[in-house]
Structures are given as structure tokens and as C-alpha cells.
């Protein structure tokens, strides 16, 4: 009898590319980990301008 692996392996980059991120968050792939953080607030953008 032979053992068969029927699960598909998915790389972290494939997961990252298909990730559905809400509009107020941004996602980055850093050193093999997916990091989600809040995007800059419009007040911050106005100060930078």
C-alpha cells in the first residue's frame, strides 16, 4: 500500500496574492509573513501635503 498526499500545498505568496483585504487596511508580505495594518488617515495625508 502506498501513501498518497492529496492535499495541495499553497505558498505564502499565492495566499498573499489572493488575499481579500478590507478597504481601510493594507497588507504587506514581510519576511514570509503577511502583515496587515491600518492605512494612513486622511488627516495624516493632509498634514503631509
Q: Which pLDDT does position 35 carry in this prediction?
A: 93
Cβ pair 27, 19 in contact under 8 A: yes
Task: Give the domain range for residue 20.
Answer: 12-48
Counting the structural domains of the chain, the total is: 1
The model's pTM: 0.56
Domain annotation covers residue 2: no
- pLDDT by residue (tens digit) across 18-34? 989 888 889 999 998 99
Domain annotation covers residue 1: no
If DSSP states are collapsed to H, E and C, what string results for the chain? CCCCCCCCCCCHHHHHHCCCCCCCEEEEEECCEEEEEECCCHHHHHHHC
Q: What is the band of 43 on the pLDDT scale with cuts at 50, 70, 90?
A: confident
Question: How far is the first Cα of the chain from the last one, in angstroms, to the nearest whole number?
Answer: 68
Which three three-digit cell numbers place residue 25?
487596511
Domain annotation covers residue 16: yes
Domain annotation covers residue 6: no
Domain annotation covers residue 5: no
Amino acid at each position: 500500500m502506498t501513501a498518497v498526499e492529496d492535499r495541495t500545498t499553497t505558498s505564502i505568496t499565492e495566499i498573499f496574492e489572493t488575499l481579500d483585504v478590507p478597504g481601510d487596511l493594507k497588507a504587506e508580505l514581510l519576511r514570509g509573513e503577511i502583515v496587515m495594518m491600518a492605512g494612513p488617515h486622511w488627516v495624516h495625508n493632509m498634514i503631509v501635503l
